[in-house]
Structure 1
Amino acid sequence: MSTATMEAPAAPALAPSTTATVVTGIGVAAPNGLGAEAWWAAVLRGESGIRRLTRFDASGYPVRIAGEVPGFLDEEHLPSRLLTQTDRVTRLSLVAAKEALDDSGTDPADLPAYSAGVVTASSAGGFEFGQRELQELWSKGGQYVSAYQSFAWFYAVNTGQISIRHGLRGSSGVVVSEQAGGLDAVAHARRQIRKGARVMITGGVDSGLCPWGWAAHLAGGGLSTVEDPAAAYLPFAAEATGHVVGEGGALFVLEDAAAARARGAAVYGTIAGYAATFDGPGTPRLVDAARIALADAGVRPDEIDVVFADAAGERDADRAEAAALTEVFGACGVPVTAPKSMTGRLLAGGASLDLAAALFAVRDQVIPPTTGTARPADDCPVDLVTVTRTGIRLRHALVLARGRGGFNSAAVVSAPA
């Protein structure tokens, strides 16, 4: 896991937390909804945001569909001074961060200096901004390259711009572990809360829907070439042919539980457990991440009421995840869902969006569906939720994520006490 940390200057010592870390705010930008509540309503309806690419002409590429955030007009959300220095991924991140802060009822100006920070996950950085400036360089010359290129492409730029815009001067950082990054960032933020930070903004948002980004996605392999958006990404299905790429993600406000209660904040849930492992040669370790996360949360496998799966949409990877789930819970031993089937895989934004879904699920006591897949393959013995389930008790949810290169992460979300 690659991390970059931006430590605040000498600051007053903060008292370590002795209580749980809770989520008090959520902001979402997703292909099937801009804004947390709009997105969640679409998820429960089984509404997909996967469709033909419109952000650039993809007609000459073997893959022409993706999950694009709909109705996002940059100038409606950000001042012009920020538009000139930011990539689309940073603009989406700034909007999600503001929504999360507003949702939590937190005003950073009311907090002690250096008591609030930001930890985000990123995989691609500002791909579209970088492409544009490279075009300027090669077509016109170096004098036409924006000075903002020096940081707008960087994978830490979302953390920096969020912290600047909201005056968050506490310990901050960025995590790079591909699809697992969204959970890893939240874990780093939880660590800061335990050390005494009052508020942390965390999660992941990614976007690389431009020709340069698309070339990287294609080179990475694993993309489905099926042209029908409804049939291209089928997690755990016998017909699975790969995944669809999307943009977006979710950001959260984390607080100490006692402090949140003291100010009367509404709580979505608790980040009760977390673990990360790394695959060895021929040794997948997703199952270890799941077990360690459960142990960290202090819950047994039979106390997990739903799993939000990584859901690669590739036959070998799906079989491996199903095997890990079977080892922990038994065959079809726990409901499993993959709402990312409606958005595509969002790189660092994917796991954080699943975490948001888990938090809403325990809030509303409902399990959202997996779309596309009618039934799991025989070699994937999972209780796949394909129609929204209600009338069940949700105490704890497990979120799983795997990143390219061997990253595995798992997080347990618990309903508020």
Structure 2
Amino acid sequence: MDGYYAFMLVATALVLMMTVPALALFYGGMTRSKSVLNMMMMSYVAFAVAAIVFVLWGWSMGWGGDGAGNGNGKLIANPFTMFGLDGVSNVNLIYVVFQLTFAAITVALISGAIADRVKLVSWVVFVPLWLTACYFPIAHNVWGGGWVAQQLAKGSTFAQDYAGGTVVHINAGVAGLVLALVIGKRVGFMKEPMKPHNLTLTMIGAGLLWFGWYGFNVGSIVFTSDSLASPEAFSAQFQGETGVTFMNTTIATCAAMLAWLLMERILHGKATSLGAASGIVAGLVAITPACGAVSLVGAIVVGAVAGGACAAAVGLKFMFGMDDSLDVVGVHLVGGLVGTLLIGLVSTSSAPGGIDGLFYGGGFASLGDQALAALFTIVWTGVLTTIIAFAIKFTIGWRVTEEAEVEGIDGDQHGESAYDLHTGLGGGGTSASSVLAKSTVTEGVNA
């Protein structure tokens, strides 16, 4: 099993990289220059807060609480059963950290829907509340054998969700939709240009997300105590399953990128770099739940449908006047739904999931399970995120002042600017070191 543990260390590091710096770069490049540091900080801070919460009670609520993983669970697991990872062996810490990185990137994804206008302190308060109320219960019921799996799906697993179509992407997409509606539009939305300020950063971020996603999807093969009894059988499963998930992740992403570019070409006459980056992420999102369920042809179908559907969906925010700043709803909610529901149509028993979908003669059973998992996630997260969002709105408040938003949230919230082009000193910070540097330059000029 030494090879498996080494593999999981690498996979975990790849998923960590997906939040910091990959998502931070991807989102940061898509914002305006006066907001880029704040946008990137939201990813970094989300990871830090999520890690502490996960260690203290998140693991217990998702995987180590009452009945987790045995099909006899409760709707919400006990956060104190393994508080502070009490009782977790050193060997199992590898898998705990792996799941920690999933929780962190899920909540970080939400930040893209509310870019340019939210106080950092409000975000810091939101992160632990949302993880506790939404992420851990969804993970427990979809992956951990919770009450929903027992009562509705009649088994220890709810639906096929290899690496987080419901738990991660639909979950984050619904939360992003709720926050965008509750917090409201940016000043000047649909009245002035709000173009990405640095598409080079976004393209780099998309490439790093694609690279890291192999840890996300391929690393989600689950090692259980039964594997110790038959390491040879697990080794054969490991080799076959990782190959399938790796290839499906690759081919679906390619199909989605091309489909998005084609849609752009048809609708707008141009195929853009932002479209390519967005198509990459849309494909990765959609194949996440399906990478262990479909054949290679099925993966191409999933990617192509997701690329086209997400490209069409991102324009709807202008039609409805909803300011989802960086298209969290259009990419993650729509992409997550596409990937989750298509499993019910194009999954095959020849894939590691072992279930035939409707198009492979399996009837409507799988499609029903997938739709039920998606609906449960939408309702649960939609209701609880709304409660959290209004609670913050009517207490500490969400938004910076209108003046701060217009002049730049980076300066208001952090006392910094991403690009100090006037002095050549960089950073624009007010730290002691920057003050000393400026005074030294001034003295040199006076001399």
State the TM-score, normalized to the length of structure 2.
Answer: 0.25
Q: Higher helix proportion, which one?
A: 2
Q: Higher strand proportion, which one?
A: 1
Say which one has the larger Rg: 2
